[in-house]
């Protein structure tokens, strides 16, 4: 009797939890649905009929996408190229250098390595707003205010989370594997690239997904550092979809927002299973 009551209570608890999580999922998905719906809607109906389906005279077809990509004097394809370059290079630099730094921190037991680790972790809790003006001036003085150099700035901001996750995973790797590689004649670089790096794959994928999504969607850092008249990423391009007297075509804006989120959503859906593995391996073990 008690066992049956326990099973019934467990099922009730799971049902309630499922309902709560479903409601939370709907709340998170609702803005995306609104973007999809309004991207195919005539601008005048975006505000008045926000959640109505784009039917009849409200349906704009692909005109919002065409208008968004051809609006103004700045070509949309340049924004796409800048965003792709900055995202790919920044993510690559973060994965390469932070994983190497994490390997050093995890294997060299010294006060300096511990201090570096705690400084990197501490950087995660520092709000960007506290350093953004100083950062903008520093980037100008060091000539880091172009799409070709801004990945260095992203490397500094993305190092905290990446090193935190990599250090936890490296500590779970048996030291004997690296010692065996050293006996076989591998130096530090060969040991890292041939032995350690392949074993970091789960955390590499997880960190790569998180950093890629962050850099791709980032608006404030490029806006502060780059010359927006010459270099615009996709978020900045969307922000400048304004007509005379500051009027905004919400239909075209929604269309470009949809185009900007499709690549990162597809990438996330293809790699989402690796996030849990990487987080669990990097933040729990060690």
In this structure, the answer to whether residues 101 and 230 fall within a common structural domain is: yes
In this structure, the answer to whether residues 147 and 22 fall within a common structural domain is: no
Give SS3 for 217. Answer: helix
What would the DSSP string read from start to end of 71-99? -SSS-HHHHHHHHHHHHHHHHHHHHHHHH
Residue 69 forms part of a structural domain:
no
Q: Which of these three, 42, 64, 86, is where a domain ends?
A: 64
pLDDT at 245: 54
In this structure, the answer to whether residues 81 and 25 fall within a common structural domain is: no
Residue 215 forms part of a structural domain:
yes
Give the domain range for residue 158: 74-283
pLDDT per residue of the chain (286 residues) written in tens, 0 to 9: 556 666 677 788 888 888 899 999 888 888 888 888 988 888 888 888 878 888 888 888 888 888 888 887 888 899 999 999 999 999 999 999 999 999 999 888 888 888 988 888 888 888 888 888 888 888 889 888 899 999 999 998 888 889 988 988 888 888 888 888 888 888 888 888 888 888 888 888 888 888 998 999 999 899 989 988 889 999 998 888 775 556 777 888 889 999 998 888 888 888 777 666 655 554 444 4
pLDDT at 284: 46
In this structure, the answer to whether residues 17 and 135 fall within a common structural domain is: no
In this structure, the answer to whether residues 93 and 206 fall within a common structural domain is: yes
Residue 160 forms part of a structural domain:
yes
In this structure, the answer to whether residues 147 and 12 fall within a common structural domain is: no
In this structure, the answer to whether residues 239 and 147 fall within a common structural domain is: yes
In this structure, the answer to whether residues 130 and 166 fall within a common structural domain is: yes
pLDDT at 285: 45
pLDDT at 4: 63
Number of structural domains (the chain) is 2
In this structure, the answer to whether residues 164 and 137 fall within a common structural domain is: yes
pLDDT at 229: 85
What helix, strand, coil percent values describe the chain, rounded to 5? 80, 0, 20
Residues in Cβ contact with 124 at an 8 Å cutoff, skipping those fewer than 6 apart: 160, 161, 164
Cβ burial of 268 (10 Å; 0-12, 13-18, 19+) is middle
b/e map 227-262, b = 16+ CB within 10 Å = ebeebbbbbbbbeebeeeeeeebbbbbbbbbbbbbe
pLDDT at 14: 84
pLDDT at 275: 65
In this structure, the answer to whether residues 130 and 36 fall within a common structural domain is: no
Q: Which of these three, 33, 64, 95, is where a domain ends?
A: 64
Give SS3 for 147. Answer: coil
How many angstroms separate the CA atoms of 207 and 217, rounded? 16
CB atoms within 10 A of CB 47: 9
Give the global pTM. 0.85
Give kind and range of the element (H or E) at residue 192: none
Helices (H), 195-249: 197-199, 201-217, 220-225, 234-239
In this structure, the answer to whether residues 53 and 119 fall within a common structural domain is: no
In this structure, the answer to whether residues 165 and 98 fall within a common structural domain is: yes
């Amino acid at each position: 009797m008690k066992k049956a009551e326990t099973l019934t209570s467990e099922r009730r608890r799971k049902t309630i939890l499922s309902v709560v999580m479903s409601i939370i999922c709907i709340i998170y998905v609702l803005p995306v649905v609104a973007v999809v719906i309004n991207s195919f809607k005539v601008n005048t109906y975006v505000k008045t009929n926000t959640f109505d389906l784009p039917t009849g005279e409200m349906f704009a077809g692909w005109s919002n996408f065409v208008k968004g990509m051809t609006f103004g004097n700045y070509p949309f394809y340049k924004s796409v190229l800048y965003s792709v370059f900055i995202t790919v290079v920044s993510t690559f630099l973060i994965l390469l250098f932070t994983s190497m730094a994490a390997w050093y921190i995890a294997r060299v037991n010294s006060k300096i390595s511990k201090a570096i680790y705690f400084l990197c972790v501490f950087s995660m809790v520092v709000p960007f707003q506290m350093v953004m003006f100083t950062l903008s001036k520093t980037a100008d003085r060091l000539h880091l205010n172009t799409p070709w150099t801004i990945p260095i700035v992203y490397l500094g901001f993305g190092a905290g989370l990446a090193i935190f996750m990599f250090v936890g995973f490296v500590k779970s790797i048996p030291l004997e594997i690296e010692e065996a590689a050293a006996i076989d004649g591998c130096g530090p670089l060969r040991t890292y690239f041939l032995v350690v790096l392949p074993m970091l794959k789960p955390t590499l994928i997880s960190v790569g997904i998180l950093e890629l999504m962050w850099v791709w969607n980032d608006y404030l850092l490029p806006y502060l550092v780059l010359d927006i008249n010459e270099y615009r990423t996709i978020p900045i391009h969307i922000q400048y979809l304004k007509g005379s007297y500051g009027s905004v075509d919400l239909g075209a804006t929604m269309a470009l927002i949809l185009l900007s989120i499709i690549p990162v959503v597809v990438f996330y859906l293809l790699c989402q299973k690796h996030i849990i593995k990487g987080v669990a391996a990097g933040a729990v073990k060690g």
